Amino acid sequence: MQDTKSALSKWARKLLKRSKNLGYLVFYHYGKQRWCPVCGKSARGFSKFGRSLREDARCVHCGALERHRFVWLYFGKQTDLFDDGAKRVLHVAPEKCFEMRLKKLLGAGYLTADLHNPRVMVNLDVTAIPCPNESFDVIYCSHVLEHIRDDKKALREFYRVLKKDGWAALLVPITAQRTRRVFGQKRHVWEYGPDFVDRLREAGFRVAITQVSDLFEKDEALLMGLNSASGEIYHCTRA
């Protein structure tokens, strides 16, 4: 009798979980209030995401977050990434919502890299990139540098392997008034402030900073879930 009750209890929990998931799918998936530029699909809203559960954050279809939607739009509006020209592109710590799309768009010139991730094409340390000088037309690295102890060396390596007429899109979370080293955290080594741009210039880069408000009106930003969590894009070229 006890085994029967236990089995029924497990079945009830599974049914309840499925009902919750179904309710989640119905609530978020059906609607036109939000549109994701990465996957091109609409939804009633973007789901909550993050340690503090940010509202309107994650695309329910492809998983793109605020910063992903912003940089994808930036690539299309402000760069030559999607112009069908042959390019050698280094994508550090590739996001799942981008990886297959970029591979399809960029073809053989697209290279994914990470220190440990077995899914990438090459495992490498960005402080010692095993490539010749001026190897890449484009470098894209988002929310990686704050994890790297010698981030300045990584930036010098990006400069070294970037072609003279190439560009890099570098994104980091800006969470402090001034950049400072963080101790005792498992995740981040650095908390960056607006002075992060000085690190880029010190590495030799010419830098242009783009925010959501530079490209989109408020109603456009709302539709695509672009907000302060989208951050800034640091567009770097060789000086």
Tens of pLDDT, residues 96-152: 999 999 999 999 999 999 999 999 999 999 999 999 999 999 999 999 999 999 999
Give the pLDDT of residue 10: 61
Task: Check if the beta carbon of residue 59 is closer than 8 Å to that of residue 40.
Answer: no
Superfamily for 65-238?
Vaccinia Virus protein VP39 (3.40.50.150)
Mean pLDDT of 18-38: 70
Give the pLDDT of residue 9: 59
Is pLDDT at 168 greater than 50 in this prediction? Answer: yes
Give the pLDDT of residue 239: 83
Give the C-alpha separation, 74 to 68, whole Å: 10
Residue 144 makes CB contacts below 8 A (sequence gap 6+) with 92, 93, 126
Residue type, 224: M
Give the C-alpha separation, 56 to 78, whole Å: 25
Give the pLDDT of residue 183: 86
> What is the pTM for the complete model shown?
0.88
Structure tokens, 231: 């951050």
Q: Max alpha carbon distance in the chain (Å)?
A: 77
Q: Which helix (H) or strand (E) holds 8?
A: helix 2-29
Q: What is the DSSP string of 75-130?
A: HHHHSSTTSS----EEEES--HHHHHHHHHHHGGGEEEEESS-TTSSEE--TTS--
Q: Which tens digit of pLDDT belongs to each residue from 221-230?
A: 999 999 999 9
37-72 core/surface letters (b: 16 or more CB in 10 A; e: else): bbbeeebebbbebeeeebebbbbbbbbbbbbbbbbb
Task: Check if the beta carbon of residue 193 is closer than 8 Å to that of residue 227.
Answer: no
Is pLDDT at 16 greater than 50 in this prediction? Answer: no
Q: Which helix (H) or strand (E) holds 53?
A: none
The torsion of the CA quartet 202, 204, 208, 211, rounded to 10 degrees, works out to: -50
Residues forming beta bridges with residue 105, ordered by sequence position = none
